[in-house]
Amino acid sequence: MPDPGARRAGRTPTIFAMGGGGFTMEPGNPALDDYIRSLAPAREPKVCLLPTAGGDSEDQIRRFHAAFDDQLCVATHISLFRLGTRPVPLREHLLGQDVIYVGGGSMINLLALWRAHGFDAILREAWQAGIVLAGLSAGSMCWFEWGVTRSIGRPVPARGLGFLPGSNSVHYDGERERRPVYLEAVAHGDVPPGWGVDDGAGLLFRGTRLAEVVASRPRARAHRVHAVAGEAVEEVIEPRLLKARPHTDPRAPLAVQEMRDLRAARRGHRRG
């Protein structure tokens, strides 16, 4: 049986790390989610949500499908908390995706559960195979060596998977108590230099190199953070402002309807 990840061989490993935004934080502004889908070369990309950090919240899952089911993609999710009743061949399913989208919640709980299920190894394999990894909040910090998590109630540095070098602090403008903790940790050398990312902004990495910074709203920024003489220094990075989804293309509704009909046919029933 062929390796499910082999067809993506040669693609550049890609990670898109958002400070906050997407379907859970900006339901009326799909700019970041549209950008995520555009990172996959497939016309109808397969996008799988991992809502582990939020305890596989039904609300997060519902919001994801509400945002993605009517788009030109195939949206699925994996609930690790429900594998006993809803088993999924984890490696096969994940390596068959074009995009793996990780939701927000507890970074510490997320990594503990992933490691228990061997997800850390599968996700590294997916990343190296060129499958796009994306996420916000905990789903953003997890890819770096370090993040600043509120999993224990107050912001503290915590180790991530280390796919990307450096550190990441999310909700940089929205949860202001994170920023001083992050700056102090960088200044003292407790965590390596990295990035502070506002809600509505995201960092695109090709391999381990920052390729682009984008934003879904004006005034959302990213900050490069490093230490100089024992003090943390923030350098503002102006992002590219993403355009709102156009609503003037008369072919778009027809294309979505065609995809709905095709999916219905695949499931073996007809639409009413």
171 in catalytic set: yes
| From 106, 171, 216, 223, the catalytic residue | 171
Q: What is the C-alpha to C-alpha distance for residues 153 and 91, in angstroms, rounded to an integer? A: 33
Q: State which amino acid sits at residue 114.
A: W
Q: Residue 119, SS3? A: helix
Alpha-helical segments (H) within 20-144: 22-25, 31-38, 58-68, 90-95, 107-116, 119-128, 138-141
Q: What is the C-alpha to C-alpha distance for residues 89 and 2, in angstroms, rounded to an integer? A: 15
- The dihedral through the CA atoms of 254, 28, 147, 165 has a sign that is positive
216 in catalytic set: no
How many CB atoms neighbour CB 243 within 10 A? 10
| From 137, 140, 169, 216, the catalytic residue | 137
What does the longest C-alpha to C-alpha distance in the chain come to? Answer: 68
Q: What is the C-alpha to C-alpha distance for residues 150 and 102, in angstroms, rounded to an integer? A: 17
- The tokens for 84 are 């006993």
**Residues with active-site annotation:** 137, 171
